[in-house]
Amino acid sequence: MAALWGAVTAREIFKAVKGIRISGSPHTVFDGFSTDSRTVRPGEIFCALKGERFDGHDFLSKALERGARGLLVEKAYRTSDQAVSGLTSSEPVVITVKDCLEALGWLAAWWRHKHRVSLVAITGSAGKTTSKEMTALILQRVGKTLKNEGNLNNLIGLPLTLLQLDGSFRKAVLEMGMNRPGEIARLTEIADPDVGVITNVARAHLEGVGDLDGVARAKVELVEKISREGKVVLNGDDALLMKTAALFRKEVLTFGLGGKNALRATRIQNLGRHGLSFRMDFEGNSWPVRLEVPGLHNVMNALASAAAALCLEVPGDVMVQGLRSFRGVKGRFQVSALSEKMVLVDDTYNANPSSLEAAVQSLHPLLEEGRRIFVALGEMFELGNATIEAHYDAGRMIAALGPYRFLAIGAHASEMINGAIEAGVAADRAGVAQTHDEIVKEFTRQLRAGDLVFVKGSRRMGMEKVVEGLKRLFP
């Protein structure tokens, strides 16, 4: 029987979160769950999470004023907060736990198992969001599918997504992100996926895991923690990923371009701005796939999604239809017309060396004869000891595009520019920008019909401001 808000009792919640009820009736029923005191609604239980810039325990009184019927708080705060220290009445319910973030995870895990859904979990250094979106489009064709939106892929966002499950959902696909060891293990424990997918291992979040081997170990926590009944899907072309995952001796379905993969892409045709076509081969079956989005990296994303669907026994024609319906993800290699004869490639959602390399490879087919390319590149974060080298390499990658104008921004912009100049870009074609507006003005002054603009950078660099500025000037 699926758990439904409006029927969930305090007793069920304090058992699920391994907490202690210190006030209120165990039979109290909650109408919902909230972690934001500004939006909590009457009848809900409020969970006092602690973050870098806030502490939910500072807003317990506000949550009660808005009608919260219950509070989930940490033991250390119980006696110090006037909002809860003297409560003895039947309402509101107060449940104490050792750690509210951990309790949120336990509640989501309990909620997940109260609903009969087939769940796919996807992680990787690059491509996980696009693969999640593709997978969701496929699964939606065989049953109502839940997915996490935006960046709700961490220890807060993923549980909150799971708590949206109700009896109408048949499938779920969840992206899993990480910054440090142990996070993927915990997310796997919470989600208990039927299928676990790892798209690749690359230089990303090195600050938290040390080196590329550390990235591999962190991602492969999904393989380690998935249940015995769970199915594992891996990029068979990624040697380090395969080597690291082999330590756990799980049955694996591989995808990729190499001949040893169970699911392979063959006869790939790059159609430039108009997308891609290829054959998808699996155990004697072959399906024609047409993607309406450009970028060779999307072949691997499509294979990862199809492999997950195969594990759930989705028919081949349904997979093909789902992939054909994909129209891209905002800020992820989105190709659009900046004007009638100018092209904009918006890849601003995030950046690491691997995703930049994939983007550069996908840009080459778009550079038709005579087309000039303007590049705006923001700093890449969380690269640890590899930061300096990675930014030099980024400049060298951009140099391979033969940019007419290359502007970089951020604390390591000079390394990107120096790398590009060392690789052959003329010094008067490359430079460091101080602001996003400076990039917009500089590009606008020189752009002409037929040009292509490529914009990319880590999330914190806000490179979408360049895209927005250009669109305002070229409506």
Q: What pLDDT shows up at residue 303?
A: 98
The verdict on residue 21 lying in a domain is yes
The verdict on residue 3 lying in a domain is no
The verdict on residue 110 lying in a domain is no
Tell me how far apart the alpha carbons of residues 123 and 188 are, in angstroms, rounded to a whole number.
Answer: 10
395 close to 412: Cβ distance less than 8 angstroms? no
Based on C-alpha coordinates, what's the Rg of the chain?
24
Q: Are residues 384 and 314 in the same domain?
A: no
457 close to 379: Cβ distance less than 8 angstroms? yes
The verdict on residue 240 lying in a domain is yes
Tell me how far apart the alpha carbons of residues 414 and 397 are, in angstroms, rounded to a whole number.
Answer: 15
Tell me how far apart the alpha carbons of residues 394 and 319 are, in angstroms, rounded to a whole number.
Answer: 35
Q: What pLDDT shows up at residue 239?
A: 97
Q: What pLDDT shows up at residue 170?
A: 98
Q: Are residues 218 and 131 in the same domain?
A: yes
388 close to 413: Cβ distance less than 8 angstroms? no
Q: Are residues 320 and 446 in the same domain?
A: no
Q: Are residues 71 and 123 in the same domain?
A: no
Tell me the backbone φ, ψ of residue 331, rounded to 5 degrees.
80, 5
Domain of residue 399, CATH code: 3.90.190.20
Question: Final residue of a domain: which of 78, 103, 128?
Answer: 103
Question: Final residue of a domain: which of 103, 135, 170?
Answer: 103
- In degrees to the nearest 10, what's the CA dihedral of 410, 414, 420, 426? 120
The verdict on residue 296 lying in a domain is yes
Domain of residue 220, CATH code: 3.40.1190.10
Domains held by the chain: number: 3
417 close to 406: Cβ distance less than 8 angstroms? yes
Q: Which residues of the chain have pLDDT under 50?
A: 79-80, 88
Q: Are residues 463 and 377 in the same domain?
A: yes
Give the neighbor-by-neighbor strand order of the sheet with 20-23.
20-23, 93-97, 70-74, 44-47, 32-34
Angle between helices 297-311 and 128-139 (to 10 degrees): 50
Q: Are residues 74 and 214 in the same domain?
A: no
Q: What pLDDT shows up at residue 54?
A: 87
The verdict on residue 108 lying in a domain is no
Q: What pLDDT shows up at residue 98?
A: 95
**Secondary structure of the chain in the HEC alphabet?**
CCCCCCCEEHHHHHHHCCCEEEECCCCCEECEEECCCCCCCCCEEEECCECCCCEHHHHHHHHHHCCCCEEEEEHHHHCCCHHHHCCCCCCCEEEEECCHHHHHHHHHHHHHHCCCCEEEEEECCCCHHHHHHHHHHHHCCCCCEEECCCCCCCCCHHHHHHCCCCCCCCEEEEECCCCCCCHHHHHHHHHCCCEEEECCCCCCCHHHHCCHHHHHHHHCHHHHHCCCCCEEEEECCCHHHHHHHHHHCCCEEEEECCCCCCEEEEEEEECHHHCEEEEEEECCEEEEEEECCCCCHHHHHHHHHHHHHHHCCCCHHHHHHHHHCCCCECCECEEEEEECCEEEEEECCCCCHHHHHHHHHHHHHHCCCCCCEEEEEECCCCCHHHHHHHHHHHHHHHHCCCCCEEEEECCCHHHHHHHHHHCCCCHHHEEECCCHHHHHHHHHHHCCCCCEEEEECCHHHCCHHHHHHHHHHCC
Assigned token pair, 283? 């155990």
Assigned token pair, 258? 């190499």
Instruction: Give the amino acid at 140.
Output: Q
190 close to 115: Cβ distance less than 8 angstroms? no
Q: What pLDDT shows up at residue 392?
A: 97
Q: What pLDDT shows up at residue 79?
A: 47
Nearest CA among 75, 73, 30, 34 for reference residue 55: 73
Q: Are residues 398 and 254 in the same domain?
A: no
Assigned token pair, 178? 């990480």
The predicted-structure confidence for 101-120, as pLDDT tens digits, reads as follows: 999 999 999 999 999 999 99
CA 451 to chain centre: 31
Tell me how far apart the alpha carbons of residues 470 and 437 are, in angstroms, rounded to a whole number.
Answer: 9
Instruction: Give the amino acid at 359.
Output: A
Q: Which residues contact 441 (CB under 8 A, 6 or more apart)?
A: none
For 160, counting Cβ atoms within 10 Å of its Cβ (0-12 exposed, 13-18 middle, 19+ buried), the class is middle
Question: Final residue of a domain: which of 79, 103, 127?
Answer: 103
Tell me how far apart the alpha carbons of residues 188 and 16 are, in angstroms, rounded to a whole number.
Answer: 17
The residue written with tokens 């705060």 in the block is 77
Whether this model's pTM surpasses 0.85: yes
Q: Are residues 440 and 344 in the same domain?
A: yes
Domain of residue 28, CATH code: 3.40.1390.10
Q: Are residues 339 and 464 in the same domain?
A: yes
The residue written with tokens 């995030």 in the block is 350
The verdict on residue 1 lying in a domain is no
Q: Are residues 285 and 353 in the same domain?
A: no
The verdict on residue 109 lying in a domain is no
Q: Are residues 343 and 461 in the same domain?
A: yes
Q: Are residues 247 and 373 in the same domain?
A: no
- Domain of residue 87: give its range: 8-103
